[in-house]
Protein backbone atom coordinates (compact mmCIF):
# COMPACT_ATOMS: atom_id res chain seq x y z
CA UNK A 1 0.00 0.00 0.00
CA UNK A 2 2.76 2.39 0.94
CA UNK A 3 4.56 1.74 -2.35
CA UNK A 4 1.38 2.37 -4.35
CA UNK A 5 0.83 5.72 -2.63
CA UNK A 6 4.43 6.69 -3.16
CA UNK A 7 4.22 5.77 -6.82
CA UNK A 8 0.98 7.72 -7.26
CA UNK A 9 2.51 10.78 -5.61
CA UNK A 10 5.52 10.62 -7.90
CA UNK A 11 3.29 10.42 -10.98
CA UNK A 12 1.25 13.42 -9.84
CA UNK A 13 4.40 15.43 -9.19
CA UNK A 14 5.69 14.57 -12.63
CA UNK A 15 2.43 15.65 -14.25
CA UNK A 16 2.52 18.97 -12.41
CA UNK A 17 6.08 19.59 -13.54
CA UNK A 18 5.16 18.75 -17.15
CA UNK A 19 2.18 21.12 -17.04
CA UNK A 20 4.34 23.95 -15.68
CA UNK A 21 6.98 23.37 -18.37
CA UNK A 22 4.32 23.27 -21.09
CA UNK A 23 2.76 26.46 -19.79
CA UNK A 24 6.09 28.25 -19.82
CA UNK A 25 6.77 27.03 -23.35
CA UNK A 26 3.50 28.29 -24.77
CA UNK A 27 3.77 31.57 -22.86
CA UNK A 28 7.23 32.20 -24.29
CA UNK A 29 6.32 30.98 -27.76
CA UNK A 30 3.10 33.01 -28.02
CA UNK A 31 3.42 36.42 -29.68
CA UNK A 32 3.24 39.35 -27.27
CA UNK A 33 -0.14 41.05 -26.94
CA UNK A 34 -0.07 44.47 -28.64
CA UNK A 35 -0.72 47.51 -26.53
CA UNK A 36 -1.16 51.15 -27.44
CA UNK A 37 -1.06 54.35 -25.45
CA UNK A 38 -3.43 57.29 -25.74
CA UNK A 39 -1.11 59.42 -27.87
CA UNK A 40 -0.40 56.67 -30.43
CA UNK A 41 -3.58 57.60 -32.31
CA UNK A 42 -5.68 60.69 -32.96
CA UNK A 43 -9.44 60.70 -33.54
CA UNK A 44 -10.56 63.38 -36.02
CA UNK A 45 -13.75 64.33 -37.87
CA UNK A 46 -14.99 66.39 -40.81
CA UNK A 47 -18.35 67.13 -42.43
CA UNK A 48 -19.58 68.04 -45.90
CA UNK A 49 -21.58 71.11 -44.82
CA UNK A 50 -21.32 74.20 -47.01
CA UNK A 51 -18.78 76.90 -46.20
CA UNK A 52 -17.32 79.59 -48.50
CA UNK A 53 -13.90 78.92 -50.01
CA UNK A 54 -12.26 81.69 -48.00
CA UNK A 55 -13.87 80.69 -44.72
CA UNK A 56 -11.14 79.91 -42.19
CA UNK A 57 -13.27 77.99 -39.71
CA UNK A 58 -14.36 74.36 -39.73
CA UNK A 59 -17.40 73.14 -41.62
CA UNK A 60 -19.73 72.27 -38.75
CA UNK A 61 -22.31 69.57 -39.42
CA UNK A 62 -25.99 70.38 -39.56
CA UNK A 63 -29.01 68.11 -39.94
CA UNK A 64 -28.53 65.95 -43.03
CA UNK A 65 -24.76 66.41 -43.17
CA UNK A 66 -22.44 63.48 -43.67
CA UNK A 67 -19.86 63.23 -40.89
CA UNK A 68 -16.64 61.29 -41.39
CA UNK A 69 -14.61 60.16 -38.37
CA UNK A 70 -11.11 58.68 -38.73
CA UNK A 71 -8.37 57.25 -36.52
CA UNK A 72 -4.91 58.49 -37.49
CA UNK A 73 -1.60 57.23 -36.08
CA UNK A 74 0.47 60.05 -34.58
CA UNK A 75 3.81 58.29 -35.12
CA UNK A 76 5.36 55.29 -36.81
CA UNK A 77 4.07 52.16 -35.10
CA UNK A 78 5.53 48.69 -34.75
CA UNK A 79 2.45 47.29 -36.48
CA UNK A 80 0.67 48.29 -39.67
CA UNK A 81 -2.48 50.35 -38.81
CA UNK A 82 -4.24 48.74 -41.79
CA UNK A 83 -3.84 45.35 -40.11
CA UNK A 84 -5.57 46.44 -36.91
CA UNK A 85 -9.20 45.65 -36.06
CA UNK A 86 -11.42 48.74 -35.58
CA UNK A 87 -14.77 48.96 -33.84
CA UNK A 88 -17.04 52.02 -33.96
CA UNK A 89 -19.76 53.15 -31.55
CA UNK A 90 -22.27 55.91 -32.39
CA UNK A 91 -24.20 57.27 -29.43
CA UNK A 92 -23.19 54.16 -27.41
CA UNK A 93 -24.41 51.73 -30.09
CA UNK A 94 -21.95 49.45 -31.91
CA UNK A 95 -21.96 50.04 -35.68
CA UNK A 96 -21.44 46.42 -36.75
CA UNK A 97 -21.42 47.25 -40.47
CA UNK A 98 -18.53 49.68 -39.97
CA UNK A 99 -16.15 47.51 -37.96
CA UNK A 100 -13.38 45.26 -39.25
CA UNK A 101 -9.71 44.97 -40.09
CA UNK A 102 -8.29 48.18 -41.56
CA UNK A 103 -11.57 50.06 -41.21
CA UNK A 104 -9.99 53.10 -39.57
CA UNK A 105 -12.72 55.50 -40.73
CA UNK A 106 -16.47 55.63 -40.30
CA UNK A 107 -19.09 57.94 -41.76
CA UNK A 108 -22.74 58.52 -41.08
CA UNK A 109 -25.55 60.95 -41.86
CA UNK A 110 -26.90 62.97 -38.97
CA UNK A 111 -30.61 63.46 -38.44
CA UNK A 112 -30.19 65.53 -35.30
CA UNK A 113 -31.04 69.22 -35.02
CA UNK A 114 -28.80 72.13 -34.14
CA UNK A 115 -27.83 72.13 -30.47
CA UNK A 116 -27.81 68.34 -30.21
CA UNK A 117 -24.62 66.28 -30.38
CA UNK A 118 -23.27 62.87 -31.37
CA UNK A 119 -21.04 60.76 -29.14
CA UNK A 120 -18.40 58.80 -31.04
CA UNK A 121 -16.20 56.05 -29.62
CA UNK A 122 -13.48 54.27 -31.58
CA UNK A 123 -11.85 51.05 -30.36
CA UNK A 124 -8.85 49.11 -31.63
CA UNK A 125 -8.85 45.40 -30.74
CA UNK A 126 -6.14 42.76 -30.72
CA UNK A 127 -6.47 39.18 -32.04
CA UNK A 128 -8.03 38.13 -28.71
CA UNK A 129 -10.67 40.89 -29.12
CA UNK A 130 -9.23 42.83 -26.23
CA UNK A 131 -9.30 46.63 -26.47
CA UNK A 132 -5.78 48.02 -26.86
CA UNK A 133 -6.83 51.63 -27.59
CA UNK A 134 -9.99 53.71 -27.47
CA UNK A 135 -10.81 57.30 -28.36
CA UNK A 136 -13.84 59.51 -27.78
CA UNK A 137 -15.40 62.49 -29.57
CA UNK A 138 -18.39 64.72 -28.97
CA UNK A 139 -19.57 66.37 -32.18
CA UNK A 140 -21.93 69.31 -31.78
CA UNK A 141 -24.59 69.73 -34.45
CA UNK A 142 -24.93 73.30 -35.71
CA UNK A 143 -27.78 75.25 -37.22
CA UNK A 144 -27.31 76.96 -40.60
CA UNK A 145 -26.05 80.54 -40.31
CA UNK A 146 -25.57 83.62 -42.47
CA UNK A 147 -22.65 86.06 -42.48
CA UNK A 148 -22.67 89.45 -44.18
CA UNK A 149 -19.73 91.29 -45.65
CA UNK A 150 -19.21 94.22 -48.00
CA UNK A 151 -17.13 93.94 -51.15
CA UNK A 152 -14.16 95.70 -49.55
CA UNK A 153 -14.25 94.25 -46.04
CA UNK A 154 -14.08 91.05 -44.07
CA UNK A 155 -17.05 89.33 -42.51
CA UNK A 156 -19.18 91.61 -40.37
CA UNK A 157 -19.37 90.36 -36.82
CA UNK A 158 -21.85 93.05 -35.84
CA UNK A 159 -25.47 93.29 -36.93
CA UNK A 160 -25.31 96.86 -38.22
CA UNK A 161 -23.31 99.03 -40.62
CA UNK A 162 -23.10 102.64 -41.75
CA UNK A 163 -23.49 103.86 -45.33
CA UNK A 164 -23.26 107.29 -46.92
CA UNK A 165 -25.62 109.01 -49.31
CA UNK A 166 -24.75 108.86 -52.98
CA UNK A 167 -23.10 105.42 -52.83
CA UNK A 168 -23.92 101.96 -54.05
CA UNK A 169 -23.80 99.64 -51.06
CA UNK A 170 -23.05 96.07 -52.15
CA UNK A 171 -23.57 93.31 -49.61
CA UNK A 172 -22.48 89.71 -49.92
CA UNK A 173 -24.22 87.04 -47.88
CA UNK A 174 -22.30 83.89 -47.08
CA UNK A 175 -24.38 80.89 -45.95
CA UNK A 176 -22.75 78.49 -43.52
CA UNK A 177 -23.35 74.85 -42.58
CA UNK A 178 -26.23 74.10 -44.96
CA UNK A 179 -26.45 70.51 -46.13
CA UNK A 180 -25.23 71.12 -49.67
CA UNK A 181 -22.04 71.63 -51.62
CA UNK A 182 -23.56 74.00 -54.17
CA UNK A 183 -24.84 77.47 -53.37
CA UNK A 184 -27.30 77.10 -56.26
CA UNK A 185 -29.21 74.62 -54.08
CA UNK A 186 -30.18 77.47 -51.76
CA UNK A 187 -33.04 79.95 -52.22
CA UNK A 188 -32.36 83.57 -51.18
CA UNK A 189 -35.08 86.03 -50.19
CA UNK A 190 -33.96 89.61 -49.43
CA UNK A 191 -36.18 92.25 -47.84
CA UNK A 192 -35.82 95.90 -46.79
CA UNK A 193 -38.20 97.16 -44.12
CA UNK A 194 -40.14 93.90 -44.60
CA UNK A 195 -40.64 94.58 -48.31
CA UNK A 196 -39.39 91.59 -50.32
CA UNK A 197 -37.08 92.54 -53.17
CA UNK A 198 -37.97 90.95 -56.51
CA UNK A 199 -35.20 92.34 -58.70
CA UNK A 200 -32.27 90.15 -57.68
CA UNK A 201 -29.20 89.02 -59.55
CA UNK A 202 -30.10 85.48 -60.63
CA UNK A 203 -26.45 84.58 -61.20
CA UNK A 204 -25.44 85.86 -57.76
CA UNK A 205 -28.49 85.50 -55.51
CA UNK A 206 -26.30 85.96 -52.42
CA UNK A 207 -25.35 89.48 -53.52
CA UNK A 208 -27.41 92.64 -53.07
CA UNK A 209 -26.63 96.18 -54.23
CA UNK A 210 -28.50 99.08 -52.65
CA UNK A 211 -28.36 102.38 -54.57
CA UNK A 212 -28.48 105.23 -52.07
CA UNK A 213 -29.50 108.60 -53.60
CA UNK A 214 -27.20 111.55 -53.14
CA UNK A 215 -28.24 114.38 -50.84
CA UNK A 216 -27.76 115.97 -47.45
CA UNK A 217 -29.60 114.53 -44.49
CA UNK A 218 -30.45 116.40 -41.33
CA UNK A 219 -30.64 113.10 -39.47
CA UNK A 220 -29.69 109.51 -40.09
CA UNK A 221 -32.09 107.17 -41.85
CA UNK A 222 -32.26 103.57 -40.68
CA UNK A 223 -33.19 100.67 -42.90
CA UNK A 224 -33.82 97.12 -41.70
CA UNK A 225 -32.35 94.57 -44.05
CA UNK A 226 -33.24 90.88 -43.72
CA UNK A 227 -32.27 87.77 -45.60
CA UNK A 228 -34.01 84.41 -45.52
CA UNK A 229 -32.19 81.36 -46.94
CA UNK A 230 -33.79 77.98 -47.44
CA UNK A 231 -32.40 74.67 -48.66
CA UNK A 232 -34.39 73.74 -51.76
CA UNK A 233 -33.92 70.02 -51.09
CA UNK A 234 -34.85 70.30 -47.40
CA UNK A 235 -37.22 73.16 -46.70
CA UNK A 236 -36.95 72.62 -42.94
CA UNK A 237 -33.31 73.67 -43.18
CA UNK A 238 -33.35 77.47 -43.20
CA UNK A 239 -31.85 80.54 -41.61
CA UNK A 240 -32.65 84.24 -41.26
CA UNK A 241 -30.24 87.11 -40.67
CA UNK A 242 -30.95 90.80 -40.04
CA UNK A 243 -28.81 93.87 -40.59
CA UNK A 244 -29.52 97.46 -39.57
CA UNK A 245 -28.21 99.95 -42.14
CA UNK A 246 -27.67 103.54 -40.98
CA UNK A 247 -27.55 106.05 -43.84
CA UNK A 248 -26.09 109.46 -43.05
User: Class of the 38-140 domain?
Assistant: mainly beta
Over range 18-22, report the average pLDDT.
42
Q: Which one-letter DSSP state was computed for residue 132?
A: E
Q: Where are the domains of the chain?
A: 38-140, 145-247
Q: Do domains 38-140 and 145-247 have the same CATH topology?
A: yes
Is residue 244 within 8 Å of residue 159, measured between CB atoms?
yes
CA atoms within 13 A on the CB side of 18: 6
Is residue 62 within 8 Å of residue 142, measured between CB atoms?
yes
Biggest CA pair distance of the chain: 128
| DSSP, residue by residue, 97-142 | GG-EET--EEEEE--PPTT-EEEEEEEEE-TTS-EEEEEEEEEEPP
pLDDT given for residue 60 in this prediction: 97
What DSSP element (H or E) covers 116? none
Residue of higher predicted confidence among 27 and 150: 150
Interval 194-231: pLDDT, tens: 999 886 777 889 999 989 999 889 899 999 999 999 99
Of 166-175, 185-194, 204-213, which has the strongest mean pLDDT? 185-194
Interval 226-240: pLDDT, tens: 999 999 999 999 999
Band of residue 85 on the pLDDT scale cut at 50, 70, 90? very high
Over range 159-177, report the average pLDDT.
90
Domain spanning 145-247: CATH 2.60.40.10: yes
Q: Which one-letter DSSP state was computed for residue 151?
A: T
Band of residue 144 on the pLDDT scale cut at 50, 70, 90? very high
SS3 190: strand
SS3 68: strand
Amino acid sequence: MFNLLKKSTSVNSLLIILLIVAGLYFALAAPPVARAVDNDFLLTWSSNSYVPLDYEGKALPSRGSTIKVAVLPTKKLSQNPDALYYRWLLDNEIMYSAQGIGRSSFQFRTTKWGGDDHEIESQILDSQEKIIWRGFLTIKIASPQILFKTTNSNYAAQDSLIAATGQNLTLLAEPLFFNTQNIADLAFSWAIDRQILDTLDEKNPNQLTIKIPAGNLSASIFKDLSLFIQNKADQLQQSTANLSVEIK
